[in-house]
């Protein structure tokens, strides 16, 4: 059976979500990412690209190139929520799909031409996503993943493109070699040094020459330049871990600050677990010191998604890792061994008041954002932060609600 592969990509995803939440950001240059000089650009609007701004660039450089841009730190929980909305729509409509990143999907529509017409079906799917989520999305449709991905890039912004069978090479030929998936900056420079600029030149080269220049990757790149790719669509499966990290603007030795940040990250990840009806059975803490030495430690625990169980365990791991004599550059938390399920009531320790408190907190976060309600200690309350275990293994009674 002839393959038909669809590639879907949410356009400037983080930027689009921010504009969906705040219409005043429409048509304005926008940067999403770390706001400090050490931060990097996670996403940028099309308005900034004319200034030479691109994702992965240091935020300091991006601000210098486009000083009028609005800079937003962004919220991973919010982006995950909108990504999940798109995933659910695709899951309902497509028999086999792969989620390759938070904003990118592949779907195998092979054989559907006899029933619907693959291009029409993909068009209707795209229209539904735009209508129900408000997010712009582009797609490419062809006989394989590589050509479909390149086609999506050519279709952007917010459009669609089909490459008919047999037209893969003519479609790719006039494009820059940098548009071939797998050609990064280093490989691009190597090929440019050989005088290669367009895909057509690679298509006309012998494959063994590419192998001599780039080794095993040379064969892969040559095949992709010729529109040859047999990579299958990998069926989507739920993620097995979630994590969060914080790199400081200035290396710190403030233990109260470190504990407060770890507490806030734990609280946020626990909420993401409950929202996704997930439980974790393995937690880990990571510390990177100013000399860039990085250490981590993990612990197996009974399946849970409850803050008052996770927080003391995270602080316990932190205590075993932390060296008070060294400045800290980064801290991080990871929850793994995720399974589907809801928090089980502990008949001996949990109270109805505590369970109602969790439900109320989660409802506020769903409505106002996942950082709308936090513990006072997570906001830097030093009197609470100095305590070895501020909650003594019990759910917190002290909360602070940020005004929206």
Ranges under pLDDT 50 in the chain:
344-352, 381-404
190 φ, ψ (degrees, to nearest 5): -60, -45
Catalytic pick from 68, 98, 104, 132? 104
Does 9 appear as a known binding residue?
A: yes
- Identify whether residues 4 and 142 lie together within a single domain: yes
Which of 165, 197, 223 corresponds to the end of one domain?
A: 165
pLDDT at 398 (0 to 100): 35
Strands (E), 94-194: 97-101, 104-108, 137-142, 160-162
- Same-domain status, 149 and 172: no
What is the predicted pLDDT for the residue at 148?
97
Q: Is 103 annotated as a binding residue?
A: yes
- Identify whether 104 is a catalytic site residue: yes
Do 116 and 139 have their domain in common? yes
147 & 32 share domain: yes
The pLDDT of residue 64 is: 94
Residues 4 and 130 placed together within one structural domain of the fold: yes
The pLDDT value recorded for residue 400 is 36
Residue that is last in its domain, among 165, 192, 221 = 165
Same domain, 356 and 263: yes
**Residue 248 domain boundaries:** 241-401
Three-state DSSP at 98 gives: strand
220 and 247 part of one domain = no
Q: What's the CATH number where 377 sits? A: 3.30.1490.100
Cβ atoms of 145 and 231 within 8 Å: the answer is yes
CA 138, 143, 149: angle at the middle one, nearest 5?
35
Residues 93 and 44 in one domain: yes
Is 248 strand, coil or helix? strand
- Whether this prediction's pTM lies above 0.75 is answered by no
φ, ψ dihedrals at 26, nearest 5°:
-60, 135
109 shares its domain with 198: no
Residues in CB range of 267: below 8 A, 6 or more apart: 307, 311, 374, 375, 378
What does the pLDDT read at residue 377?
52
Residues 142, 172, single domain; the answer is no
Judge contact between 329 and 251, C-beta under 8 A. yes
> Can you give the pLDDT at residue 394?
38
178: domain CATH number?
A: 1.10.150.20
Q: What is the pLDDT of residue 376?
A: 56
What CATH number is attached to the domain comprising 131?
Answer: 3.30.70.270
Domain count, the chain: 3
Which domain-ending residue is among 150, 165, 180? 165
Report the chain's terminal Cα–Cα distance, integer Å.
54
* 156 and 176 both lie in a single domain: no
Q: Supply 121's token pair.
A: 């079906």
Residue 224, CA distances (Å) to 180, 230, 377 in order: 7, 10, 53
Q: Are residues 254 and 366 in the same domain?
A: yes
């Amino acid at each position: 059976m002839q393959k038909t592969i669809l590639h879907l990509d949410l356009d400037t995803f983080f930027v689009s979500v921010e504009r969906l939440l705040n219409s005043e950001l429409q048509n304005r240059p926008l940067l999403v990412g770390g706001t400090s000089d050490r931060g990097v650009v996670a996403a940028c609007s099309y308005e900034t690209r004319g200034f030479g701004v691109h994702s992965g660039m240091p935020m300091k450089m991006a601000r210098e190139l486009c000083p009028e841009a609005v800079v937003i730190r962004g919220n991973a929980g919010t982006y995950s929520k909108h990504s999940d909305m798109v995933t659910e729509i695709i899951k309902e409509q497509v028999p086999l799909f792969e989620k390759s990143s938070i904003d990118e999907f592949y779907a195998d529509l092979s054989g559907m031409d006899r029933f619907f017409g693959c291009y029409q079906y993909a068009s209707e799917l795209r229209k539904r996503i735009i209508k129900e989520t408000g997010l712009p999305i582009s797609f490419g449709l062809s006989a394989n993943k590589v050509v479909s991905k390149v086609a999506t890039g050519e279709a952007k912004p917010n459009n669609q493109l089909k490459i008919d069978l047999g037209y893969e090479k003519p479609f790719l030929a006039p494009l820059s070699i940098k548009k071939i998936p797998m050609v990064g900056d280093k490989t691009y420079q190597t090929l440019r040094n050989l005088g290669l600029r367009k895909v057509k030149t690679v298509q006309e080269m012998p494959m063994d020459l590419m192998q001599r220049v780039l080794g095993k990757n040379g064969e892969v790149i040559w095949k992709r330049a010729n529109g040859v790719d047999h990579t299958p669509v990998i069926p989507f499966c739920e993620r097995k871990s979630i994590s969060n990290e914080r790199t400081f603007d200035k290396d710190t030795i403030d233990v109260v600050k470190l504990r407060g940040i770890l507490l806030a990250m734990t609280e946020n990840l626990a909420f993401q677990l409950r929202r996704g009806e997930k439980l974790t059975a393995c937690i880990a803490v990571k510390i990177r010191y100013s000399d860039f030495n990085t250490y981590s430690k993990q612990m197996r625990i009974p399946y849970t998604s409850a803050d008052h169980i996770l927080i003391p365990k995270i602080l316990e791991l932190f205590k075993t890792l932390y060296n008070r004599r060294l400045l800290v550059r980064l801290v991080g938390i990871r929850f793994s061994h995720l399974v589907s399920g809801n928090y089980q009531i502990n008949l001996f320790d949990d109270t109805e008041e505590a369970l109602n408190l969790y439900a109320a907190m989660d409802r506020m976060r769903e409505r106002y954002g996942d950082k709308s309600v936090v513990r006072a200690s997570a906001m830097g309350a030093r009197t609470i932060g100095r305590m070895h275990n501020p909650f003594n293994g019990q759910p917190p009674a002290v909360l602070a609600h940020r005004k929206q």
